[in-house]
Each structure stands twice: as structure tokens, then as C-alpha cells.
């Protein structure tokens, strides 16, 4: 693979970002003919081929950023993208077809069709928690629809972001897909440009800023935002299965998943039994707690300290830790906490 410096736009200036944007914009003006089905399918196949070719590099990059175990990388980062490409390739022909629509009284005597068209130049801002999956997944849809893209991966996962830059540069010309690396100021500079569509994955707070910036250009936006995710365990539940699934869903990626089971509401009649089974399942899955080889790390020290503060704040207000030892280490233990109340920060964040 090429050295990063030869092609990666790392902390570019505003003028460099604008030049890259204009490169893609100009290319679409000079080549206005819609991209044919066979070209789109070949583009997706090229991406899939290079993902498979660099699978080991992807695993190593995520291990460097997160300490993610290889099976978890394959299951949650690489396989979903390859499946997305497979599914998209299978259905793309039918998705590209126009659809006839009936006339109305105002259009009597005419014929109407809805014809899918590419949006144009798109911006993809991806997050740090699944830095490969949530960068490449939106890119698959973007390319399948005949668009070009500038991709801004997270600065919190530098090894994976650099890997994405290498992979993209080895797969696409700059006028089709480019990667820009840098901190939040780079994202702010990108958001000042009149993209045709923006795809953002991240927090609601930043999502509001993205939508505000997009509104100045009437740019369409897709926002995939985090939030609280409850799980309900009723009196008739299969408690063993519930403990298995919740352990897997919550502690995959060390809990850093937007739609992970965030809190559990358990019927009083099965609570004690469920808690006992959940403790057993966590101990079996992670016998060394946060230092187990199958447990990823918290992405950085700042986030580990933030999570530790949420726990200590809850305990100071009356919450009880049922399992695990609270710490600010990136190798954070799986924790079970009960007696959460709305005034605790952990109930809101």
C-alpha cells in the first residue's frame, strides 16, 4: 500500500478543501451523462475487491485504535459492508428503473414518470465507534446512486482513518471519491460548501450543527444519530436467551454502539433471576473483565473519563453497582448498575 503522505488530505487548508470540492463539481459538469448500470456495478465490485484484499490491514488498524478483537472486526466492520455491496448490486437494476405515475385532473392527457437521478457531489462525515463500517456503508449507497463523494472519517480513530484514505486512493480517482482527514475544524470547513447531499453519523448535538450548515445551501441531509435504547424483559421472557442477547448487544465494541441495549426494564417477578443470569453470562464472555481479549477498549482516555464520571455521578446520587469495578481505564469493565433516576447524568446521556 502507498505511504499515507502521497495521497491523503491531512488537515488541509480551506483553499485545498475548496479545490477538491471544485474538482468533483467540475467533473460532473463536464460529464453530465448519467452513470450506466454496468459502471456502477463495476465501481462497487472494485471496492469489494480492495476491502477483501486489505482485510488484514483493516483488522490491524482497528486493533490499533480500539483494541478490537479480530472476530468483532470481521462481524461488525467488514462483513456488513460486503453484504451491503452484495445486496445493492443485486437490486440496483430495479432501483434505477423509472416508475410510471397516473395523471390528475390538472395534468389530464399527459404521461408522467418518476426517474431516479444522482444527487451530485456528496459529503460523508463518519463517526469513531464503527469507523470503517459507517464510512464505507454510506459510500456504497452514494456510489450506487451515481454520485461522487468527499469522505471525512473521524480524527478519534487515526489508524483506521489513514487506512480508509489508502484504500479509497487505491480504488477511485479523486474526482469520484476523496478522503479528507483532520479535526472538527476540517468538518466545519467542509460544511461551508454547497454539497448536493450530506450524510452524517454522530451525536444529536453535532447533527443540529450539520443541519444548520446544510440549510444555508438547501442541501438535503441524512442524519443517523445516537440516543437512549431501552430493552424490556417481561415475565414471560426466555431469561437465558435475553441474558445472551443483551450481553452480546451491549458489550460488543465495549458498549460503544448507537443502538446497543442502553438500559433494561425488567419485570419485578423475574428481576433477581435475570440479574443472576446476566452476571453469569458476562463473566463467561469476559472472564478478565475489561482486560479480556474479546473486549474492545474505550476509544480514548477522554471518553473513558467521561464514562467514569457518569458512573460516579450516578453512585453519588444513590445508584448501586451490581457487577464490575468502575474505573477511568480504557479497559473498562462491563458494568451493571441499578436504581437509576432521571436526575442522574447517566439516565440522560
Active-site positions read 224, 258
Q: How far is CA 200 from CA 69, 100, 156, 262, in A?
A: 26, 32, 16, 22
CA 212 to chain centre: 21
CA 238 to chain centre: 31
d(CA 168, CA 51): 10
d(CA 61, CA 11): 20
d(CA 30, CA 25): 9
On whether the CB atoms of residues 60 and 218 are closer than 8 A, the answer is no
H, E, C per residue of the chain: CCCHHHCCEECCCHHHHHHHHHHHHHHHHHCCCCCCHHHHHHHHHHHHHHHHHCHHHHHHHHHHHHCCCHHHHHHHHHHHHHHHHHHHHHHHHHHHCCEEECCCHHHCCCCEEECCCCCCEEEEECCCCCCCHHHHHHHHHHHHCCCEEEEECCCCCHHHHHHHHHHHHCCCCCCCEEEEECCHHHHHHHHCCCCCEEEEEECHHHHHHHHHHHHCCCCEEEEEECCCCEEEECCCCCHHHHHHHHHHHHHHHHHCCCCCCCEEEECHHHHHHHHHHHHHHHHHHCCCHHHCCCCCCCCCHHHHHHHHHHHHHHHHCCCEEEECCCCCCCCCCCCEEECCCCCCHHHCC
Amino acid at each position: 500500500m502507498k505511504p499515507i503522505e502521497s495521497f491523503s488530505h491531512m488537515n488541509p487548508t480551506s483553499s485545498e478543501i475548496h479545490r477538491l470540492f471544485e474538482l468533483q463539481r467540475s467533473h460532473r459538469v463536464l460529464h453530465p451523462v448519467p452513470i450506466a448500470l454496468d459502471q456502477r456495478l463495476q465501481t462497487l465490485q472494485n471496492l469489494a475487491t480492495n476491502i477483501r484484499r486489505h482485510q488484514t490491514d483493516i483488522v490491524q488498524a482497528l486493533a490499533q485504535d480500539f483494541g478490537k478483537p479480530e472476530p468483532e472486526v470481521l462481524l461488525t466492520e467488514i462483513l456488513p459492508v460486503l453484504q451491503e455491496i452484495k445486496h445493492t448490486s443485486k437490486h440496483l437494476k430495479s432501483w434505477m428503473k423509472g416508475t410510471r405515475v397516473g395523471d390528475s385532473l390538472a395534468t389530464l392527457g399527459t404521461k408522467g414518470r418518476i426517474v431516479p437521478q444522482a444527487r451530485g457531489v456528496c459529503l460523508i462525515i463518519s463517526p469513531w465507534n464503527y469507523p470503517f463500517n459507517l464510512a464505507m456503508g454510506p459510500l456504497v449507497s452514494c456510489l450506487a446512486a451515481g454520485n461522487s463523494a468527499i469522505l471525512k472519517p473521524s480524527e478519534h480513530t487515526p489508524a483506521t482513518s489513514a487506512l480508509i484514505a489508502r484504500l479509497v486512493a487505491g480504488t477511485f480517482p479523486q474526482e469520484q471519491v476523496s478522503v479528507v482527514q483532520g479535526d472538527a475544524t476540517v468538518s466545519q470547513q467542509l460544511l461551508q460548501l454547497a454539497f448536493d447531499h450530506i450524510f452524517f453519523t454522530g451525536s444529536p448535538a453535532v447533527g443540529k450543527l450539520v443541519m444548520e450548515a446544510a440549510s444555508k445551501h438547501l442541501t438535503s441531509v441524512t442524519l443517523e444519530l445516537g440516543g437512549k435504547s431501552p430493552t424490556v424483559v417481561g415475565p414471560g421472557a426466555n431469561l437465558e436467551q435475553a441474558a445472551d442477547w443483551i450481553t452480546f448487544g451491549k458489550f460488543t465494541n465495549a458498549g460503544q454502539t448507537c443502538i446497543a441495549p442502553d438500559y433494561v426494564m425488567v419485570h419485578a417477578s423475574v428481576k433477581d433471576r435475570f440479574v443472576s443470569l446476566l452476571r453469569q453470562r458476562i463473566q463467561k464472555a469476559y472472564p478478565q473483565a475489561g482486560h479480556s481479549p474479546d473486549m474492545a477498549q474505550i476509544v480514548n482516555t477522554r471518553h473513558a473519563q467521561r464514562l467514569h464520571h457518569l458512573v460516579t455521578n450516578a453512585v453519588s446520587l444513590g445508584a448501586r453497582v451490581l457487577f464490575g469495578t468502575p474505573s477511568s481505564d480504557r479497559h473498562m469493565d462491563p458494568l451493571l448498575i441499578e436504581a437509576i433516576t432521571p436526575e442522574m447524568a447517566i439516565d440522560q446521556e
